[in-house]
Amino acid sequence: MEYDLVLTFCDRITKENEYDIPFVLANNSTSIKWLKLLYDDIYITKCDWSNNRFVGFDDPTETSNRFKNEMNEIIDICEKERPGHFNIKITNDMTQNDFNKIHTWFEVYRGELYKPHKFFLEGSDKFKYAIERFNQLIHMWEKIDHFEKTNSAMLTVDILGPQHIIELEDEDYNNFEFMKYPNTIQLAFISRGKNLINFWRDGDEHIGEHNIGPYKYLGSTFSLVAKENGWDTETLNYEKNSFNNWFDRKSNYLNSLGFYKDDPRSCIGWLPLAHSLIPNIKEIIQPRQYLKNIKIFEEVNDY
């Protein structure tokens, strides 16, 4: 078989104008485990998936306004259920520092994946969704400028329901790369807080130490990076040098948190899971911002 899975996109209103994008697994051991988890969640457990985390495909101003309105609606939902705890307002002129500040709101009231905050644990389904969605919107909004500058976009697909989640193993940590590939499905961060790369990129001075951590889990949820062309060597080298200089300046602090530059468990980079077999998928997805179907072939069990 020439490919391992196919994502079918269509118009989000009419559900027509379909387009199939085929993918082949990345050449690493984690990709095989991920595809088996995805297969089980979709075909065995019959999980559905989200369609509300497209960012970078539309006009930046229009996207920012949409995110702002949705975040303020979410705040109203949470404040109504827990009065006095969610008294904030989102405006059009949010800065990265603002995003870093309000992200702590999610970190506190969501809690860890398996140790949720009392509010989250006792909250209504509407409250729980609002808390989780608030976090998603922050991370999408703060990436808008980056995607515009790099002519790229991202879709994160959350598998809904009782998805299978396993802990990463040594072999998985060895599969992280600083290299960024275009038109690639990569491992999604499903822990609370921020991983080291996002902590560096966001210049976050508000996040608590207990909210900075490496990737810990492998689930079927995934992110798809869409970019017409790859990142050039000069840009990648600049980013890598910038990260290394930042790490060296903060090495004592980062070491105290358990991060070491030569330790694979620090997860310095991204973990590719599958590569598109066709180019320019950003242009294909832009008018089709609805993931209609995920097709995985039965041969996945032969890996």
pLDDT for 192:
60
Closest CA to 183 of 227, 143, 152, 221: 227
Q: Which tops the pLDDT comparison, 148 or 293?
A: 293
The pLDDT tens digits for 249-291 are 989 988 988 889 899 999 998 999 999 999 989 999 999 999 9
Q: Where are the domains of the chain?
A: 1-56+151-303, 57-142
pLDDT for 258:
87
Residue 208 has pLDDT above 60, yes or no: no
pLDDT for 295:
96
The whole-number average pLDDT for the span 230-245 is 86
